[in-house]
Amino acid sequence: MPNKSSNKPSYRGLGFRVCAKCGKSKDDGVTLLQCSACGVDFYCGGECQRADWPSHKDKCRINRQARERLAASPERTQEVEALRRWTRVHRPTLFYLSLQELGVLQDPSVADRTLFMVKVRSRPQETNERRRFEITEASPFPIDEVGEAAPQIRQAIETVRAAHRQPNYGTYMLFVLPDDVLCPPNLIPLDFEMGGVLPMHHTPKDMIDIVNQGRLL
Ligand SMILES: [Zn+2]
Ligand SMILES: [Zn+2]
């Protein structure tokens, strides 16, 4: 498994977030909260948020308007659909890649605390939908460090597990994260047989190349 500390995703500054007022981060022992109105800036607490409001006010409104406009645009809908199709077509490769990288077959408890994060970059000009996105990073990531989405992810895992008929199956989450902050991530539950064996022996790099070249396993 790769060293987690060297694989911090930078999505929305995840892991690199700082208070918009005082600049403190998680490493300074503060818990950062998102501006609930615009969801763009973060604060270490109510004091900093209030102090920053006079300068944040206008930016906050512009952030909200941009978000609403883009969320409703046809381009946005197309992007979301394209990511869904891309994820579906590459799902087997992403499954084997994550199975190997997470090590859940050797230790099923990994699935309780770790998801597999695949960061992708959009290729809007690409006409081949298998190549519509490019993997820029793929690594195990602690669920606790996902931030505000963590409870939702845990709930989704529980729901899928509760539906399992066979007791020897486990579930972990694949988190496909686009570089465009307005395109929501895809969260896909993947089932594995506890104590099973890896079905193939491509290296992780080979599997990423296969996806990025638009090939299938
Ligand atoms: Zn602060
Ligand atoms: Zn705001």
Ligand 1 centroid vs 204 CA: distance in angstroms? Answer: 40
> Is it the case that residue 6 has pLDDT exceeding 60?
no
Note down the domain range covering 82. 74-212
- 61 and 44 in a common domain: yes
pLDDT in tens, 30-43: 988 889 888 889 99
Q: Is the whole model's pTM more than 0.95, yes or no?
A: no
> Is it the case that residue 83 has pLDDT exceeding 50?
yes
How many structural domains are present in the chain?
2
- 98 and 48 in a common domain: no
If one compares 200 and 5, the residue with the highest pLDDT of the two is: 200
Ligand 2 centroid vs 142 CA: distance in angstroms? Answer: 27
- 47 and 147 in a common domain: no
> Whose atoms come closest to the Cα of 49: which ligand?
1
> Is it the case that residue 7 has pLDDT exceeding 50?
no
What local confidence, expressed as pLDDT, does residue 146 receive? 83
- 168 and 78 in a common domain: yes
- 86 and 17 in a common domain: no
Ligand 1 centroid vs 190 CA: distance in angstroms? Answer: 39
Ligand 1 centroid vs 22 CA: distance in angstroms? Answer: 4
Ligand 1 centroid vs 23 CA: distance in angstroms? Answer: 6
What is the SS3 assignment for the chain?
CCCHHHHCCCHHHCCCCCCCCCCCCHHHCCCCEECCCCCCCEECCHHHHHHHHHHHHHHHHHHHHHHHHHHCCHHHHHHHHHHHHHHHHHHHHHHHHHHHHHCCCCCCCHHHHEEEEEEEEECCCCCCHHHCEEEEEEEEEEHHHHCCCHHHHHHHHHHHHHCCCCCCEEEEEEEEEECCCCCCCEEEEEEEECCCCCCCCCCHHHHHHHHHCCCCC
- Could you tell me if residue 23 is left (phi over 0), alpha (psi between -120 and 50 degrees) or otherwise beta? left
User: What is the average pLDDT score of the chain?
Assistant: 86
Strands 186-193 and 42-43: what pairing? unpaired
Question: Does the residue 217 lie in any domain?
Answer: no
Of 118, 17, 132, the residue nearest 80 (C-alpha): 132
